[in-house]
Structure 1
Amino acid sequence: MYLVIKIIGCILLVSATTLMGFKKAQRLYKRRDFINDFLVFLDTLATNIRYSTDELSIILSKSEDRFGKAIYGAYEKYDGTFFKKWKNAVADISDGYALKHEDKQLLCSFGEKLGITDVEGQLKHIELYKGLANAHLDDSKNEIKQKSRLYKTMGFFVGTAAALVII
C-alpha cells in the first residue's frame, strides 16, 4: 500500500512540474500575441486618426481589435488626464499577458505622446512605435524559439528527477 501511494505521489509530482513548464511556455506565447494585437491596434488607430475627426477617447471606444477593447475597458475605470488613464490601463491589462518591463515602458511612452500633436505628428508617432513594437515582437519570437521547448522539457525532467529521489 505504501508503494502505491508513493507511485501515485510521483505521478502527481511529474504531472504538476510538467504542467508548470507548459504554463511558463504559454506565457511566452501570450506576450507574442499581445504584441501582435498592439500592432493591429496601431494600424487601426492610424487609419482612424487619418480619416476621423473624432476625439482620441472616442476613437479608442470604437476600437474593434482585442488590444483596443482591453485598453478602453481599463481606460474607462480611471479619472484624470489621457496619459494617466492610459498608464493605469496599461498596468491593468499587462498583468495577464506576461509582459516584460520594457514592453510596459513601450506602451506607456506610446500613450504619453499620443494625441498631443497634429494628425501628421501622430501618424509619425504611430509609425515609430510600430517599428519599436516589431523589434519587441522579434524578441518574443526568439524567446519562444529558445525557451519554449526548454520550459516544457525542464518541467518534465525536474519532476521525474524529484520522483526518482522520492522512490
Structure 2
Amino acid sequence: MLKLVGCILLLFATTGIGFILAGKLAARPKQIRRLISALSILETEIHYSSRNLSTACSHIGDRDIEMISELFRQMALRLTTMDGAATYECLKLAVQDWWPTSAMKTSEKEVFLQFCKTLGNSDRSDQLTHLALAKQNLQVEEQKAREEQFQYEKMVRTLGVLAGALLIILLY
C-alpha cells in the first residue's frame, strides 16, 4: 500500500514538473509580447510627452501589463532613488533584479539592456530609432520563442508523465 502511494506521488511530481516547464515555454512569448507593448507605450511617452524617464517608467508601471509593470516600477524606483548614478546603471540594476522572475531568456535581456544604454544619453529622435530597433529585435525573439513553444511544449508535458511512469516501473 505504501509503495502504491509513493508511486502515485512520484507520478504527480514528475507530471507537475513537466507542466511547470511547459508553462514557462508558453509564458515566454506572451511576456515578450507584453514587453513590446510596454516599449510602444514608452515610445509614445518619448515622442509626445515631455515627462522625464522616471515618470514615464512609473506611468508604464501603473498600467496593468502582467509581469512587465513590475519591471517598469523597479526602473522608476531605481531612477528616483539612485540620484546621481548613470541612467544605464539604474536601469541595468532594475533589469537584473527583475529578470529571474520572468520566463524570458538572456537574448531578450541583452536586447533590452542594449536599448537601455541609449535612454537618457541621446536626443529624442535617436532614442525613438533605438526603440524601434529594440522592438524589431524583440519581435524576432518572440517568433523564435513561439517556434520553441510549438516544438517543445507538448513534448515536455508528455516527458514529465513518461519519466514518472519509467521511475515507477524501475522502482516497483
TM-score above 0.5: yes
SS in 1 for 2:117: helix
Change (3 A) 1:46 1:65: farther
Moved over 3 A (4+): none
Partner in structure 2 of residue 126 of structure 1? 131
Partner in structure 1 of residue 38 of structure 2? 41
Structure 1, 60-69 or 94-103: larger mean CA deviation: 60-69
Q: Are the counterparts in 2 of residues 21 and 151 from structure 1 also a CA contact under 8 Å?
A: yes
Structure 1, 30-39 or 74-83: larger mean CA deviation: 74-83
SS in 2 for 1:99: coil
Change (3 A) 1:94 1:62: same
Q: What runs of 5+ residues in structure 1 fail to find an aligned partner?
A: none
Q: Which amino acid aligns with 1:30?
A: A
Q: Percent identity?
A: 28
Q: Are the counterparts in 2 of residues 17 and 156 from structure 1 also a CA contact under 8 Å?
A: yes
Determine which of 16, 20, 26 is the counterpart of 2:17: 20
Partner in structure 2 of residue 116 of structure 1? 121
Change (3 A) 1:68 1:98: closer
- Distance in 2, matches of 1:123 and 1:73, equals 21
Q: Are the counterparts in 1 of residues 31 and 103 from structure 2 also a CA contact under 8 Å?
A: no
Determine which of 86, 97, 102 is the counterpart of 2:102: 97
- Distance in 1, matches of 2:68 and 2:9, equals 41
Q: CA RMSD in A?
A: 1.5
SS in 2 for 1:113: coil
- Distance in 2, matches of 1:14 and 1:128, equals 46
- Distance in 2, matches of 1:37 and 1:89, equals 17
Does 1:10 find its partner at 2:7? yes
Does 1:54 find its partner at 2:45? no
Cα deviation per residue 1:60-88 (whole Å; 9 max; x = unaligned)?
Answer: 11112526631232221462221111111
Q: Are the counterparts in 2 of residues 41 and 65 from structure 1 also a CA contact under 8 Å?
A: no
SS in 1 for 2:122: coil
Q: Are the counterparts in 1 of residues 14 and 164 from structure 2 also a CA contact under 8 Å?
A: yes
Aligned residues: 164
- Distance in 1, matches of 2:32 and 2:112, equals 10
